[in-house]
Amino acid sequence: MGQCGITSSKTVLVFLNLIFWAAAGILCYVGAYVFITYDDYDHFFEDVYTLIPAVVIIAVGTLLFIIGLIGCCATVRESRCGLAVFVIILMLVFVTEVGVVVLGYIYRAKVEDEVDRSIQKVYNEYNGTNMDAPSRAIDYVQRQLHCCGIHNYSDWKKTRWFQESQNNSVPQSCCKPSASNCTGSLSRTGDLYPEGCEALVVKKLKEIMMYVIWAALTFAAIQMLGMLCACVVLCRRGRDPAYELLITGGTYA
């Protein structure tokens, strides 16, 4: 029974190390996705510390690749020192991922206040030209999220661009794709997106943060299993010097 449990632990551990390599790629992808998306919405969210969880999760992804390599070699060769290092690094990464989850929840709670503080300023800086970064950001968000204005299209009446243009219209990025010959005129409000952008930007940023949180939680759980299997193999290896190597096919257990 003991032999079977040990062999199973080694097999599972080798399989988990392969999962760690896949996890490394996934975590780096999630972190990069957060960076890319933040770049699209950075005018609405000025707190750059929000990127800390993304930076940490990319670092963890890189470290997981190294962990997978160490784990595979240590498990196959049954190196007691290698397995000990493997367990210690996994514990450190596990603690780091718990920290990522905590930071994710903290910054997720701050999203609404940050957007509320910044969005009015961004809309007031709109000038309708592609050369202007706030203007590009607003047009991008309105087209991508299918929204218009802060709370609705009437918010544009309070902006400097609307008052200076004096044409009773909003940017064409407010126009629905199905609306033909839409110029953004407020005399044809049926052609415009009815929903404001603030709530949708907050929702999008919270979703992004949840991707980070769930990724960290999922792989933290996998690492717990990895630590358990490594400890089983390590303890058995310490008690029985004749313990069977996984690659030898010997008769000892």
pLDDT at residue 46 above 90?
A: no
From the CB of residue 44, how many other CB atoms can be counted at a distance below 10 Å?
26
Question: Containing H/E element for 145?
Answer: helix 133-145
What sign for the dihedral angle of Cα 32, 49, 126, 181? positive
> What are the pLDDT digits (tens) for 171-209?
999 999 888 888 888 888 889 999 999 999 888 888 888
How far, in Å, CA of 69 to CA of 24, rounded?
A: 11
What sign for the dihedral angle of Cα 34, 35, 41, 42? positive
Name the more confident of 212 and 190.
190
For range 222-231, the mean pLDDT: 76
pLDDT at residue 244 above 50?
A: no
For range 39-52, the mean pLDDT: 68
Backbone angles phi, psi at 185, to 5 degrees: -65, 135
**pLDDT of the residue at 249:** 45
- Hey, what amino acid is at 17? N
Q: 3-state DSSP call for residue 45?
A: coil
- What the block records as the tokens of 42 is 């950075």
> What are the pLDDT digits (tens) for 14-38?
777 777 788 788 888 888 887 777 7
Give me Rg for the CA atoms of the chain: 26
For range 73-84, the mean pLDDT: 70
Residue 153 contacts residue 163 (beta carbons within 8 Å): no
- What the block records as the tokens of 120 is 């009015």
